[in-house]
Amino acid sequence: MDAGAVGTLIKKDLILLFRNKALGIMPHVFLVLLIVIYFIMPGTVNEKLKLALYGTNIPQILIDEMAESGVELVITNSEEELNRGVEDGDFIMGMTIPDDLLQRISTGERPEVKAVFGPSVLPAMKKAELTFTEQIIFLLQGEPLNIRVEEKILGPDMTGRQIPTRDRLIPIFALFIILMEIMGVAILIVEEHERGTLSALLVTSMSMGSLLTAKAITGIGLAFLQAVFVLTATGILIANPLILLTGLFLGSMLVAGLGFLVATLGRDIMTVIAWSIVVLLTLFMPAFNILLPGVMSDWVKIIPSYYLTDLMHRAVHFDAGWAEIWKNCVLLLTIDLCLMAVGSFALRRRLA
């Protein structure tokens, strides 16, 4: 392998990429846009539950007790005000309790307590809030539930340190930037193949190994540097720099193998874009486990990008060290090398 030839090819690829507006300019505009979106989004999470009450007088001691446990009870002046607040999203739930609740209970009656929910409340959440309503009624009667609750938290205690949505998106932003370079590498290869540039290079003393190495370094380098730029600009990189840089580099290596495979499947620019979208959507699926934990099943672990998103999520949000993420690194490196070997073999056959 000729190191000088590889360097020349990398320089040529970079020039071609930056001449192409779609591949050179748009990704950088998108980088800036992601950073702007990050700083626009709120950086804190309000962990308090806000409930509206109307009807019977609630003892102040009960309101204070609920506030200490993170539940804010707001007394409204009318049932219409309560309904409007729930509908507008100001309260997660509203309760209308009759003024003579306790008197009617003492006579054996079953008074009606209305619970009002917004349209987006999940069934499981609704059930939990109804149970909470029953607890309030018991407290009003002076008869708290006669149970002893033993608290046990499995995993890190997130009380008071919930992850803001913008911080959940950071690993996803980095992943998306890396995955976009898969399309960039594939388009660059197919475009040069259609123009006959690759054939012209291969009839010279240029070896196929040097050619593929240059393409791989270009793709990996661009993906890595752009992802590092986003994490640095948002201040996330300082959280766990060595682990994050390792994860980003291993993730960027996916660009080479998958970029070669997509270039092999695509016969022209349009088919490359089509195959790239399929690959991007597939690799993006594990990211939903960060945004909506528990949505995806364990089968997502067969997707290579799972180990990158999981590594970054735990390193950024849970201060995970090498002991927790070394398996992700080993698996990701193994997958990278396998994809690069398969992709290189397939592309050699295509260009031969």
Distance CA 197, CA 194 (A): 8
Q: In the chain, where does the domain assigned CATH 3.40.1710.10 lie?
A: 49-140
* pLDDT tens digits for range 262-303: 888 877 888 888 888 888 888 888 887 776 666 667 788 888
Distances (CA, A) of 220 to 141, 214, 257, 313, 331: 66, 10, 10, 21, 18
Q: Is the pLDDT of residue 161 over 60?
A: no
* pLDDT tens digits for range 121-132: 656 566 656 666
pTM: 0.69
Identify which of 345, 6, 3 has the alpha carbon closest to the alpha carbon of residue 201.
6
Distance CA 336, CA 64 (A): 56
- Mean pLDDT (whole number) for 163-183: 80
Strand 71-75 relative to strand 114-117: parallel, antiparallel, unpaired?
A: unpaired
Distance CA 63, CA 234 (A): 40
Domain 49-140 has CATH 3.30.1340.30: no
Asked whether the beta carbons of 129 and 73 are under 8 A apart, the reply is no
b/e per residue 12-28 (b: at least 16 CB within 10 A): ebeebbeeeeebbeebe
* pLDDT tens digits for range 76-132: 888 888 888 888 877 777 777 777 666 666 676 666 777 777 766 656 566 656 666
- Per-residue pLDDT, 153: 37
